[in-house]
Amino acid sequence: MNNLLVASEVTKSFGDFKALNNISIEVPKGSVFGLLGPNGAGKTTLIRIINQITMPDSGEIILDGRPLQPYDIQHIGYLPEERGLYKTMKVGEQAMYLAQLKGLSKTQAKERLKYWFDRLGIDGWWNKKIQELSKGMAQKIQFVVTVLHQPKLLIFDEPFSGFDPINANLIKDEILRLKDEGATVIFSTHRMESVEEMCDHIALIDKSNKILDGKLIDIKRAYKSNTYKVGLMANASEDIKSILSEKFEVKPTSFKTINKEQQYNIKISDKDSVNELVNYLTTLGQLTHFEEVIPSVSDIFIETVQNN
């Protein structure tokens, strides 16, 4: 069994509005799975169904090989996008309460909270009230509470909102560490650079339908356009662009460099090989920069959603 979580043909409507239409996803064990989509696409609804907050109209969720059961909530840690804590409760008390709701015993909860508070350097906060903390501080508590019961499946909806870059990095590292320790992570965000950094798999949902999913690297391969970013110091003052345009699709581009070269994006056809391009370029001048253009998640996102 390689998939920790499988959603098969999940459909959910709210009145006349269809929030999810036959969505199927497979989340491999030990992966970081990016659940992407524009606002209102249905991501949160899907996440809520996985958390058994909402029931699907049809379809099935399989966790670890078995249909999802009510007690499975203790195997899931969920950090919702709309999140908060009881403002008037003390940090320690609140964390203990939420931990016990997840099925931890009092002693277990206390032990693990101490570990996490030490780890994140927040052990002085135990007796503070949430309303005395800053938003970022409260988010840290929220993160601890989400992972405290050592769930198999972690679901983060916009986990970095409200964090400064330093703390965002800290949390990112913690998430990756949890993954290395065996947890599977579903990760929903609009920050494409963190998807790029963290996700192995992605699924893209738009207008209630899944329009793309798979291993990130495979998707990138499928979306690559045989385009290369080239920097060239021309031998003479020839018009390189028009020369190149005879054989390839050429677009000017720009990147940071220390040379004064000409910079182009060159797209070759499927018949052409990369070596030929390189050889040809060296005849025109000194090649200072050569790099395959790999589509970013952001590009893929925008392209697929716009084409949908």
Partner 1 sequence: MNHLPLIIKREYLNKVRNKSFIIMTFLSPIIMVGIISLVSYLSQLNNDTVNTINILDESGLFTNHFEDTKGLKYKVLTSVSLENAKKLTEESEVYGLLYIPKINMIDELSESITFYSEDSPSITVMRDVENIIEDKVNVIKLEEAGIDAKTIEELRINIDTKLETFEGKKTSKLGSGLKLAFGGAAGYLLFMFIIIYGNMIMRSVIEEKTSRIIEVIISSVKPIKLLLGKIFGTTLAGITQFTVWIILMLVLTSAISTIFGVDTSAAQSQQQELLVQSSGTDTQHIISEVFLELNNLPITNLVIMFVFFFIGGYLLYASLYAAIGAAVDSETDTQQFMLPIIMPLMLGMYVGFFTVIENPHGTVSQVFSYIPFTSPVVMLMRIPFGVPLWQQILSLVILFTTFMATVWFAAKIYRVGILMYGKKPSYKEIIKWLKY
Among 35, 12, 18, 56, smallest CA distance to 153 is for: 35
**Which residues, including other chains, have CB under 8 Å from residue 35's CB and lie 6 or more apart?**
25, 43, 46, 47, 186, 187, 188, 202, 203, 205
Q: How far is CA 265 from CA 48, 248, 252, 280, 299, in A?
A: 43, 10, 6, 15, 16
Of the candidate spans 30-38, 45-53, 162-170, 190-198, the one that interacts with partner 1 by CB under 8 A turns out to be 45-53
User: DSSP state, 129?
Assistant: B
Of the candidate spans 23-31, 47-55, 249-257, 283-291, the one that interacts with partner 1 by CB under 8 A turns out to be 47-55
231 CB-side CA count, 13 A: 12
75 is a contact residue toward partner 1 (CB under 8 A): no
Q: Which of 8, 9, 60, 87 binds partner 1 (CB under 8 A)?
A: 87
Burial class (CB in 10 A: 0-12, 13-18, 19+), 180: exposed
Is 85 or 120 the residue whose CB approaches partner 1 more closely?
85
Of the candidate spans 23-31, 87-95, 224-232, 285-293, the one that interacts with partner 1 by CB under 8 A turns out to be 87-95
98 is a contact residue toward partner 1 (CB under 8 A): yes
Shortest reach from residue 187's CB to partner 1, in Å: 16
171 is a contact residue toward partner 1 (CB under 8 A): no
Which sign, positive or negative, has the C-alpha torsion 35, 103, 126, 117? Answer: negative
14 is a contact residue toward partner 1 (CB under 8 A): yes
Task: Assess contact for 7 and 25: CB atoms under 8 A.
Answer: yes
227 is a contact residue toward partner 1 (CB under 8 A): no
Is 83 or 112 the residue whose CB approaches partner 1 more closely?
83
136 is a contact residue toward partner 1 (CB under 8 A): no
Is 142 or 227 the residue whose CB approaches partner 1 more closely?
142
Task: Assess contact for 199 and 187: CB atoms under 8 A.
Answer: yes
Is 130 or 178 the residue whose CB approaches partner 1 more closely?
130
Q: Which of 27, 42, 139, 142 binds partner 1 (CB under 8 A)?
A: 142
Shortest reach from residue 41's CB to partner 1, in Å: 17
Q: From the centroid of its chain, how far is CA 152?
A: 18
Task: Assess contact for 171 and 156: CB atoms under 8 A.
Answer: no
Q: Which of 27, 35, 51, 204 binds partner 1 (CB under 8 A)?
A: 51
CA separation for the pair 73, 94 (Å, rounded): 19
Q: CB neighbours (10 Å) of residue 12?
A: 22
Of the candidate spans 77-85, 163-171, 173-181, 270-278, the one that interacts with partner 1 by CB under 8 A turns out to be 77-85
CA separation for the pair 12, 22 (Å, rounded): 8
Residues 100-129 vs partner 1: string with x where CB under 8 A? Answer: xxxx--------------------------
83 is a contact residue toward partner 1 (CB under 8 A): yes
User: DSSP state, 86?
Assistant: -
CA separation for the pair 23, 210 (Å, rounded): 6
Q: Which of 9, 58, 84, 132 binds partner 1 (CB under 8 A)?
A: 84
Shortest reach from residue 146's CB to partner 1, in Å: 8
Residues that bind partner 1 (CB under 8 A): 14-15, 48, 51, 53, 70-71, 73-74, 76, 78-80, 82-89, 97-98, 100-103, 142, 145
